[in-house]
Chains A and B, each alone.
Chain A
Amino acid sequence: MKLQLKIWRQKSADSTGRFETYTVEADEHMSFLEMLDVLNETLIHEKKEPVVFEHDCREGICGSCSMVINGRPHGPMQGTTACQLHMRSFKNGDTITIEPFRAKSFPVLKDLSVDRSAFDRIIESGGYISVNTGQAPDGNSLPIEKDLAGKAFEAAACIGCGACVAACPNGSAMLFTSAKVSHLGLLPQGAVEHSARVQNMVNQMDKEGFGMCSNTEACEAECPKEISVENIARLNRSYMASIMGSEK
């Protein structure tokens, strides 16, 4: 299939970007990123600069992909990262627009690559359980209800890609932050620090310049791991409780 690509090219963080148009010959069995590999090989052969895009595992789990395809983070397929998208989702003659995740807190570094280190700083502010190596009791000393463990798992399945932020009209990181707060807060091990964790992570999130949540739920719709907005409700509840009821 022959495709036309409109790709965002930006030399560096402080330079002005623009769309450039390329044509590429693709095969329906290729992954989307393999199609970009083919384009890059052609560009290199012509001694031009290849398109920079972030990628690593190419199986939908590392969270490196950070591109918006035809207006949607990670492209048209529900519950799918850009690297798992295959060209059979497109047809001969299509024009595909590819641009980086766009949010104030994710500055563009080059072409399709953005800086998502704000997410690391949110985790560093409290997204953990304070236990040193060697302090743990036997794993089976604390039974946890199967469904509760399942819920915690579903929140923990977040890959930290940032599609939720890119999808949100406010550039909010509520889905990301609430997924971590839920993962840890639902489990008895994480309950001890829950209030402090909620406050610290929300404060850090605000400090990083992420926007407020206005319940558009675009984050859930675009999340490649289909993390639920229920987590946001849980975070809001916990945040209120941590302000009103806590002695901190």
Chain B
Amino acid sequence: MIKLESNIPAGELAEKWTNYKGSMNLVAPNNKRRIEVIVVGTGLAGASAAATLGELGYNVKVFTFHDSPRRAHSIAAQGGINAAKNYQNDGDSIWRLFYDTIKGGDYRSREANVHRLAEASKDIIDQCVAQGVPFAREYGGLLANRSFGGVQVSRTFYARGQTGQQLLIGAYQALARQANVGKCKIYNRHEMLDLVKVDGKARGIIARNLLTGEIERHAAHCVVLATGGYGNVFYLSTNAMGSNVSASWRAVRKGALMANPCFTQIHPTCIPVSGEYQSKLTLMSESLRNDGRVWVPKKKEDAVAIRERRMKGNDIAEEDRDYYLERRYPAFGNLVPRDVASRAAKVACDEGNGVSPTGLAVFLDFASAIERYGKAEAYSQGNTSPSEAQVTALGEAVVKSKYGNLFQMYEKITGEDPYKNPMKIYPAVHYTMGGLWVDYNLETNVPGLFALGEANFSDHGANRLGASALMQGLADGYFVIPYTIGQFLSGEIRTPKISADTPEFMEAEKAVQDRLAKIKNINGNQSVESFHRRLGKIMWEYCGMSRNAEGLKKGQQMIRELRAEFYKDVFVPGELDEYNPELEKALRVADFLELGETMMVDALNRNESCGGHFREEYTTEDGEAKRMDEEYTYVAAWEWNDQGEIILHKEDLKFDNVELKTRSYK
């Protein structure tokens, strides 16, 4: 078993990061100028890291498969970014953000990393404001906040429903500034296809130029992966079509470990699947649960009538509706954390009360909010006895001002008016808490290989709270890696420029070329897309919102068979040496076919329910998740060896500052 050293600094929790920063090794400016760093990925984590490392004086090579760094999928994050600023004077603090994140993650993340995240959160907001990110503001000109699920303070900063876009543009512009002065060289339309190790250290990558198909060798003193999550293993998810696991998975195939891969986040409010042709799912921001009430019909015959389009949601009388979140979780109501809300929707639909033709949807209803806001607005206008029509018109205007762009998006996709009829929503795969195993320095078990943002596992445990992904991506990129990378690079100041012409690079290049030729030469009869869809169905069925041992074993077997079939019968059109999106997709699906099996193995190993991982065998009497702290308070980090064996390595989690409690939102 590989010994996993978390390298958490000694001392009090609140002082660890400060003391560590004060005592860590530095790289002097004259040496930084000679050192090269490769950053793969240009989302929030990658762009912020590359820009900051460039500012510090390192020579950075940045890779993205997109045509521009600005298109990375961080751009699609809607709701906001958390920070422990306590601008609202509602009792927020670094400790509280730390505690909420640990609890929200169901006690499966590292205390020290999460505390550092909470500390950095404040600096992120300052940095983004200085870059010109147009956050929402109050009339007095100061920054505005809103609430998100799983917390009782208002600490989320936002830019309408486009916070991710605005933050990414800030980081992209910082990166563009470094490109302009020559400290960052950006390789657009390049995809990393392998990691290169020299004497056990990560020293470069093999990348494919996606326009010409040329295979290129790129060397550096170290490699930083910020390549996002792997939600697309489920085929249908809220991820962008191109989001993939390949960079991380290639690192695993070179000895890095994949930690807690079965911890996936199913987001409760997405637009339901409408047909077999569906290519992706669209998220409706969690902020909607501030005002929307979730319900299904109490009577099965009503649900059937709605599914058969004989009735509409509005036809169901108030007393025949089951507002199941308010009923089951009175303390948090519609604002329970994501994993809890998603499972509750599944239970409602499994019981036969779903409201779309497929039976897989629940209502998210704004009628109460429209009435409440309408009455308040009429009152403030001096109208104490408004008509029903006046209340509705005024209320709809308020709801429009808060969620207008989301309502518009819903209407574009479904063709239904959410002001007049309740929205139909269903959970969908959204985020992956698992990722490459990293220590406190964000370094994997391969020396010189770092992983940031959604690509690592470290901060969200078994469930991520809303508005925390943007926070983590930017904390890692702006405020953690610029320091911790020095711990590794300070040992490299005598290392000359790494050559990409050594046998290690040549061998890796050859292996990539062989792999490409192998896949192309199968010349079978089934499209890449058809394999991806089938994999997604297996994952969703057996490793989705609820899992059991029997299903996971079956799922693992099915994936192995599917993988064998892929290598016998996949068809990739076009040539290797040209712009060929089908080839790109084939390589990504090949990696998903290995990751998927690892997820099944991880979920089967974890005999407990925690966060997004719900094992049917481990529930409390009232159907809630049952953690098994005695046996499973550890990080499961998986090795995939040359024989294709999946081997477990453990890092025990120690909680010195918080008490492990049953998470209750009742």
Q: Which residues of A contact B (CB under 8 A)?
A: 12, 27, 29-31, 33-34, 37-38, 41, 43-45, 47-50, 52, 54-64, 77, 80, 84, 86, 88, 109-110, 113, 115-117, 119-120, 123-140, 142-146, 149-150, 152-153, 156-157, 159-160, 183-184, 187, 189-190
Task: Given contact pairs A56-B240, A62-B240, A133-B51, enumerate 19 new A-B contacts (beta carbons under 8 Å).
Answer: A44-B527, A47-B571, A55-B241, A56-B241, A56-B242, A62-B73, A63-B71, A64-B67, A88-B415, A109-B211, A120-B69, A120-B176, A123-B173, A133-B478, A146-B138, A149-B136, A153-B159, A189-B130, A190-B132
Q: Answer yes or no: B75 CB below 8 A from chain A CBs.
A: yes
How many residues does chain B have at the interface if contact means C-beta atoms less than 8 Å apart?
78
Cβ–Cβ contact A44 & B573, under 8 A: yes
Q: Answer yes or no: B299 CB below 8 A from chain A CBs.
A: no
Cβ–Cβ contact B573 & A47, under 8 A: yes
- Cβ 8 A contact of B126, one of A34, A58, A124, A136: A136
Cβ–Cβ contact B282 & A143, under 8 A: no
Cβ–Cβ contact A61 & B166, under 8 A: no
Q: Answer yes or no: B209 CB below 8 A from chain A CBs.
A: no
Q: Which of A27, A30, A86, A120: most chain B CB closer than 10 A?
A: A120
Cβ–Cβ contact B165 & A61, under 8 A: yes
The minimal Cβ–Cβ distance linking B519 to chain A, given in whole angstroms, is: 15
Provide the residues of chain B in CB contact with A34, threshold 8 Å: 277-279
Provide the residues of chain B in CB contact with A139, threshold 8 Å: 85, 125-126, 128-129, 135, 143
Residue of B nearest to A135 (CB): B130
Contact with A along B636-657 (1 / 0, CB 8 A): 0000000000000000000000
Q: Answer yes or no: B540 CB below 8 A from chain A CBs.
A: no
Provide the residues of chain A in CB contact with B421, threshold 8 Å: none
The minimal Cβ–Cβ distance linking B520 to chain A, given in whole angstroms, is: 13
Alpha-carbon distance between A131 and B527 when the two chains are bound, in angstroms: 48
Residue of B nearest to A128 (CB): B173
Cβ–Cβ contact B139 & A146, under 8 A: yes
Provide the residues of chain A in CB contact with B573, threshold 8 Å: 43-44, 47-50
Cβ–Cβ contact B578 & A12, under 8 A: yes
The minimal Cβ–Cβ distance linking B569 to chain A, given in whole angstroms, is: 13
Cβ–Cβ contact B130 & A59, under 8 A: no
User: Would you call the interface of chain A mostly helix, strand, loop, or mixed?
Assistant: loop
Provide the residues of chain A in CB contact with B123, threshold 8 Å: 134, 136
Provide the residues of chain B in CB contact with A60, threshold 8 Å: 409
Q: Answer yes or no: B275 CB below 8 A from chain A CBs.
A: yes
Provide the residues of chain A in CB contact with B279, threshold 8 Å: 31, 33-34, 37, 58
Known A116-B67, A133-B55; contact A27-B172, beta-carbon cutoff 8 A: no
Chain B positions 552-591 with a Cβ under 8 Å from a chain A Cβ? 571, 573-574, 578-579, 581-582
Provide the residues of chain B in CB contact with A189, threshold 8 Å: 129-132
Alpha-carbon distance between A45 and B73 when the two chains are bound, in angstroms: 30
Residue of B nearest to A11 (CB): B578
Alpha-carbon distance between A48 and B582 when the two chains are bound, in angstroms: 12
The minimal Cβ–Cβ distance linking A228 to chain B, given in whole angstroms, is: 15
Provide the residues of chain A in CB contact with B530, threshold 8 Å: 41
Cβ–Cβ contact B527 & A153, under 8 A: no
Provide the residues of chain B in CB contact with A156, threshold 8 Å: 132, 134, 166, 169
Provide the residues of chain A in CB contact with B140, threshold 8 Å: 143
The minimal Cβ–Cβ distance linking A147 to chain B, given in whole angstroms, is: 9
Alpha-carbon distance between A48 and B69 when the two chains are bound, in angstroms: 31
- Cβ 8 A contact of A142, one of B129, B211, B278: B129
Cβ–Cβ contact B162 & A41, under 8 A: no
Q: Which of A12, A27, A56, A80: most chain B CB closer than 10 A?
A: A56
Provide the residues of chain B in CB contact with A135, threshold 8 Å: 130
Provide the residues of chain A in CB contact with B478, threshold 8 Å: 133
Alpha-carbon distance between A2 and B55 when the two chains are bound, in angstroms: 55
Cβ–Cβ contact A146 & B141, under 8 A: yes
Cβ–Cβ contact A143 & B141, under 8 A: yes
Alpha-carbon distance between A109 and B275 when the two chains are bound, in angstroms: 32
Provide the residues of chain A in CB contact with B277, threshold 8 Å: 27, 30, 34, 37-38
Provide the residues of chain B in CB contact with A130, threshold 8 Å: 177
Q: Answer yes or no: B87 CB below 8 A from chain A CBs.
A: yes
Alpha-carbon distance between A138 and B52 when the two chains are bound, in angstroms: 19
Q: List 9 A-B contacts (CB under 8 A).
A: A50-B573, A54-B67, A55-B241, A59-B76, A61-B165, A62-B71, A133-B478, A136-B127, A150-B134
The minimal Cβ–Cβ distance linking A179 to chain B, given in whole angstroms, is: 11
Provide the residues of chain B in CB contact with A61, threshold 8 Å: 75-76, 162, 165
Cβ–Cβ contact B130 & A183, under 8 A: no
Alpha-carbon distance between A159 and B125 when the two chains are bound, in angstroms: 22
Provide the residues of chain B in CB contact with A116, threshold 8 Å: 67-68
Provide the residues of chain B in CB contact with A49, threshold 8 Å: 573-574
Q: Answer yes or no: B230 CB below 8 A from chain A CBs.
A: no
Residue of B nearest to A119 (CB): B68
Cβ–Cβ contact B176 & A127, under 8 A: yes
Cβ–Cβ contact A138 & B126, under 8 A: yes
Known A63-B71, A124-B180; contact A29-B275, beta-carbon cutoff 8 A: yes
Alpha-carbon distance between A132 and B131 when the two chains are bound, in angstroms: 9
Provide the residues of chain A in CB contact with B282, threshold 8 Å: 58-59
Residue of B nearest to A33 (CB): B279
Q: Answer yes or no: B208 CB below 8 A from chain A CBs.
A: no
Provide the residues of chain A in CB contact with B482, threshold 8 Å: 133
Q: Answer yes or no: B626 CB below 8 A from chain A CBs.
A: no
- Cβ 8 A contact of A133, one of B68, B479, B579, B582: B479
Cβ–Cβ contact A183 & B582, under 8 A: no
Cβ–Cβ contact B129 & A136, under 8 A: yes
Q: Answer yes or no: B250 CB below 8 A from chain A CBs.
A: no
The minimal Cβ–Cβ distance linking B164 to chain A, given in whole angstroms, is: 8
Provide the residues of chain A in CB contact with B129, threshold 8 Å: 136, 139, 142, 189
Cβ–Cβ contact B166 & A153, under 8 A: yes
Chain B positions 356-408 with a Cβ under 8 Å from a chain A Cβ? none
Provide the residues of chain A in CB contact with B32, threshold 8 Å: none
Provide the residues of chain A in CB contact with B169, threshold 8 Å: 156
Residue of A nearest to B164 (CB): A61
Cβ–Cβ contact B173 & A129, under 8 A: yes
The minimal Cβ–Cβ distance linking B21 to chain A, given in whole angstroms, is: 12
The minimal Cβ–Cβ distance linking A87 to chain B, given in whole angstroms, is: 10
Provide the residues of chain B in CB contact with A160, threshold 8 Å: 68, 70
Alpha-carbon distance between A153 and B135 when the two chains are bound, in angstroms: 8
Cβ–Cβ contact B579 & A140, under 8 A: no
The minimal Cβ–Cβ distance linking A193 to chain B, given in whole angstroms, is: 10
Provide the residues of chain B in CB contact with A150, threshold 8 Å: 134
Chain B positions 520-542 with a Cβ under 8 Å from a chain A Cβ? 527, 529-530
Provide the residues of chain B in CB contact with A126, threshold 8 Å: 180
Alpha-carbon distance between A124 and B70 when the two chains are bound, in angstroms: 12
Provide the residues of chain A in CB contact with B412, threshold 8 Å: 77, 80, 84, 86
Alpha-carbon distance between A131 and B48 when the two chains are bound, in angstroms: 13
Provide the residues of chain A in CB contact with B207, threshold 8 Å: none
Residue of A nearest to B280 (CB): A58
Residue of B nearest to A60 (CB): B409
Residue of B nearest to A80 (CB): B412
